[in-house]
Structure 1
């Protein structure tokens, strides 16, 4: 894996330590050199979907990064929003935007260190190649209120390769109102090898 902060390096991550190292280097330039340059629309799509199905706060932004999804939620009047991410440096950037109630460092594959219980949860770009697999859903469900909406984007190739379908089936009657919607990750002006990549917007409620 290269330490250079770009999408190919992100997709090649293998361990939490890899993620910490890459996103430390990427935090200051992520919004400009990745999100804006690649017409990254997925955070706005997640926020839009959460709003359309009636999601509301308090919301946990899972894999908050630099706060792009929380910014989109804020524009829709949804809050308060807390954020968790494995990278302290990415959270430092997110903190400057003034859209979070609280931010904390955490590995999403482990129990989340928060005393809060949330009415909603969103995640954009975290359940993807080299990042978090389907087992990351369990810690999120553990901090949700009954009836709360969860909307996570899952890279379409990652969904097929890492067992999301089996995991969601295994959740059984612990979730309800399940839906899948395929969306573009990047806008129509995006170029490059990943320009046409898609994600599944997976939405469900905690039963």
Structure 2
């Protein structure tokens, strides 16, 4: 792949899982400082808050866990235990050092996740389901790891919701495998966000496994 810059433009230009591995390998150590703090990245906390407000509980799988920003918010809300799944071993290493997770799972979601010994009561994902990262087909691929009635909170970049096929996929799933689909809209960045994407929003797909 062409080398990606360690910033938002690099993340938005990802096209393959291999691109993601390469980008985050070099970005993991200072991701929290150079992106999350610098850009006032609010989406992980908003995803955790939506999960909590909808009645979510553990055990939870954090999909595309990154450095553990969503897990930190879940923990602060009293939700756990939490497992992490991410394609980047470097990001998982940073997340593991924070002591937030029960288990760390290195996995490419486009190739499926290992089935847990005990199905999860909740699944969250913040910043992963978007163009160049993970597409709508992988939402369905998450269902086998969860128990019936499990609550999902999947944040999807609003700019890609229709164009990338997320709307059509969720509408189809709502006809059988999932129920009670709700799509609150939240800001991805806080008031101190900078740059061209500072006003971007996300839809948090809240639903239960039927």
CA distance, structure 2, for counterparts of residue 122 and residue 84 of structure 1: 10
CA distance, structure 2, for counterparts of residue 30 and residue 70 of structure 1: 15
For 1:163, the equivalent position in structure 2 comes to 165
Displacement, 1:174?
1.1
Displacement, 1:53?
0.6
For 1:189, the equivalent position in structure 2 comes to 192
Deviations 1:31-69 (A, max 9, x none): 000000000010000000000010000000000000000
Three-state SS of the structure 2 residue aligned to 1:136 is: helix
Displacement, 1:169?
1.6
Displacement, 1:129?
2.6
Displacement, 1:110?
2.0
| 143-152 vs 125-134, greater mean Cα deviation | 125-134
For 1:52, the equivalent position in structure 2 comes to 53
| 110-119 vs 197-206, greater mean Cα deviation | 110-119
Deviations 1:63-109 (A, max 9, x none): 00000000000001100000100000000000011010001111112
Displacement, 1:150?
0.2
Deviations 1:6-38 (A, max 9, x none): 111111111111110000000001000000000
TM-score (norm 2): 0.96
Displacement, 1:158?
1.4
Equivalent in 179, 183, 205 of residue 180 of structure 1: 183
For 1:100, the equivalent position in structure 2 comes to 101
For 1:65, the equivalent position in structure 2 comes to 66
CA distance, structure 2, for counterparts of residue 203 and residue 109 of structure 1: 21
For 1:205, the equivalent position in structure 2 comes to 208
For 1:87, the equivalent position in structure 2 comes to 88
For 2:140, the equivalent position in structure 1 comes to 138
For 2:6, the equivalent position in structure 1 comes to 5
Q: For structure 2, which runs of at least 5 residues remain unmatched after alignment?
A: none
CA distance, structure 2, for counterparts of residue 144 and residue 2 of structure 1: 36
Displacement, 1:145?
0.3
Displacement, 1:2?
3.8
CA distance, structure 2, for counterparts of residue 113 and residue 206 of structure 1: 18
CA distance, structure 2, for counterparts of residue 36 and residue 189 of structure 1: 9
